[in-house]
Structure 1
Amino acid sequence: MGSFVGHAVQGSALALLGLWNTIHTIRSYLVKGPANFTVRFWYQFNTPQSRLKHLELVSILSFSVLAIFMQILDFPHFHYAFKLDNFEHATMFIHLALFAGFSLSTELTDSLDLFSGFVGILASSVFSQELFLLHFHSTDHVGLEGHYHWLLQLIVLVSLVAALAATIFPNNFNAALVLSISVIFQGCWFINMGFMLWIPAFVPEGCVMNLAKASGHEIIGAVTCGSKEADFRARGLANLQFSWILSSILIFAGIICLKLARKCTITTNRLEYERIQTKGAADSALANEGFKQAR
């Protein structure tokens, strides 16, 4: 995690996962309506090949297991080293793997209806453990890096509250939408942290990177600011980035809502028109048959 690559890969995966769930949550709500909407923590792929139906859960499980081994083997050095921060990161992925593995099992055994509440509890545990391990991280994130991680904890807290609300109120569209949007936000914030903390060209003015070591294109270090004014400016810039990224995600989610609402309205109107036409044709046929019998 202590590199640009680690932040960018995990951030991209989270952003894509959140985007996938945001689109399908909105679509499900528009198609089923408020009365029949049910929160889902994952969505199947609509594909003729049944093997790809659970691709989301398989991808989450595979990514989590791979990330656990990468942390334990101290990527990119690939040697076993008992580093507390690596094991803390691996523990976050363990809870994600538990959620994906159990959810996949309920799908394969057709027992989702029986254990949907427990699936929600596992989803909530992912964010609760992430928040716990970020807050009590063995690595002392201070200065600008600590501020970025503090803002990250705010996002994870929202994800946790939304996941709990979606579990307790399984028909609550708002909780499901906030959860998926917060996952996008987590992913985008991880990517932003990768640029601002691990790429020298993006380090704020008046601050420098303390290079611990360099290996190829990977740069590992932390950012420190030379003065209180530079530190204050860098933190203010981080706050602006937080608001700008959130605004961009909300604008994008609003566009998705409007686009899908228009598409679903057109589809619904077309189906209603076809139903009326079919009913009219059937009524006409019955009337003609009655007229013939009367003659």
Structure 2
Amino acid sequence: MGTFIGHIVPGLALTLLGLWHAINTVKSYLVKCPANFTVRFWYRFDTPQSILKHLQLISILAFSILAILMQVLEFPSFHFAFKLDSMEHATMFIHLTLFAGFSLYTELTDSFELLSGFVGILASSIFGQEYFLLHFHSTDHVGLEGHYHWLLQLIVLVSLVAAVVATCSPNGFTAALVLSISVAFQGCWFINMGFMLWNPMFVPEGCVRNLTQASGNVMLGAVTCGSDEADFRARALANLQFSWILAAILAFVGLACLKLARKCNITDRLTEYERLHSKGSDSTITPEGLKQIDS
């Protein structure tokens, strides 16, 4: 994953997945009302084709298997290569594969309601293993790259806590929404890291891309800053990006909440009006009817 594309592709996938979950979580909460809301770790596509209903799980499963193969196989020779950092990245996708595969099986066998608790455990294990492997990474991310990875760990930790709370409290709307937002945040941060660390055009002022490999006891990050002042400025810029990206995601989700709430309120009012109108029509008594009753 130590490439520009290696950050952009999974980052884009996580961003779309998180925003999709956030919108569907809010929609489900508004439609079902707080008392009937249930946490879901994936959502069906509203389509008549049965195979497309499970497109989210199928896509996650296929993407995870492909990512594992790309980490453990050397291209174009296609021979197995045992590299610690690649195996750690592959391990993260193994847990994602277990979650998607098991969830898809429960849906196809109509046993999701019975096994939803274990699905939540599998979802929590994804973020738990991601945080564990990022924290104890065999490749020591130092310098500016280390700071970006430390901020990434904060996001993953929030995802882990939210997933555990959502599993323990299946009616918890707040935990479900925080989980969706944090997943989208992870994706956006991956994309941001790809540009800031692996694209020479976006490397902070006073810093340069490292094109040489580390040797001996000397650890080199993806970006090296020429002075302490440049390093401090680059870290401060990363902190600002962290806040700006979070603000943008919250603004998007907030607008989606307002739009969905307005739409649901209009629908509820129309439904209530139709119900009252129907009830009023049924209870209307004509003057002829009154005469018949009196006679």
Per the normalisation by structure 1, the TM-score is 0.94
1:146 matched to which residue of 2? 146
Deviation at 1:287, TM superposition (A): 5.9
The one-letter code of the counterpart of 2:119 is V
Distance 2:25 2:85 in 1: 34
Residue-pair matches, total? 287
1:176-215 residue pairs with structure 2 within 5 A?
A: 176-212=176-212
1:125 equivalent in alignment to 2:125: yes
The one-letter code sitting in structure 2 at the alignment partner of 1:59 is S
* C-alpha contact 1:210 1:222 (8 A) present in aligned 2: yes
In the aligned structure 1, how far is the partner of 2:11 from the partner of 2:180? 14
Helix, strand or coil: the match of 2:222? strand
- Alignment RMSD: 1.6
What are the residue-to-residue correspondences of 1:55-204 with 2, within 5 Å?
55-74=55-74, 78-204=78-204
Measured in 2, the distance between the counterparts of 1:19 and 1:166 equals: 17
Q: Who is 1:229 aligned against?
A: 229
In the superposition, relative to structure 1, how do residues 288 and 167 fare at CA in structure 2: closer, same or farther (>3 Å)? Answer: farther
Q: Which residue of 1 aligns with 2:41?
A: 41
| CA distance in 2 between partners of 1:115 and 1:227 (Å) | 55
- The alpha-carbon distance between structure 1 residues 170 and 145, as it changes in their structure 2 partners (threshold 3 A), is same
1:288 & 1:116 partners in 2: Cα distance?
Answer: 59
Indicate the residue corresponding to 1:279 in structure 2.
Answer: 279
| Between 77-86 and 161-170, the greater mean CA deviation after superposition | 77-86
Aligned to 1:28: 28
Determine the C-alpha separation between the residues in 2 that align with 1:245 and 1:54: 30
What amino acid does structure 1 have at the position aligned with 2:32?
Answer: K
Distance verdict in 2 for CA 1:75–1:138, change over 3 Å: farther
Q: What is residue 246 of structure 1 aligned with on the other side? A: 246
Render the CA deviation track for 1:54-89: whole Å, top value 9, x for unaligned: 111111111101111111114577442211111100
Q: For 2:142 and 2:68, how far apart are their aligned partners in 1?
A: 26
Percent of aligned pairs with the same amino acid? 75
Q: Secondary structure of 1:208's partner?
A: strand
Question: Does the 8 Å contact 1:74/1:86 carry over to 2?
Answer: no
The one-letter code of the counterpart of 2:267 is: T
Q: TM (normalized to structure 2)?
A: 0.94
- Letter paired with 1:243: S
Flag the 1:193–1:74 CA change in 2: closer, same or farther, 3 A. Answer: farther
Partner of 1:216: none
Structure 1 counterpart SS, 2:209? strand
Amino acid at match of 2:150: W
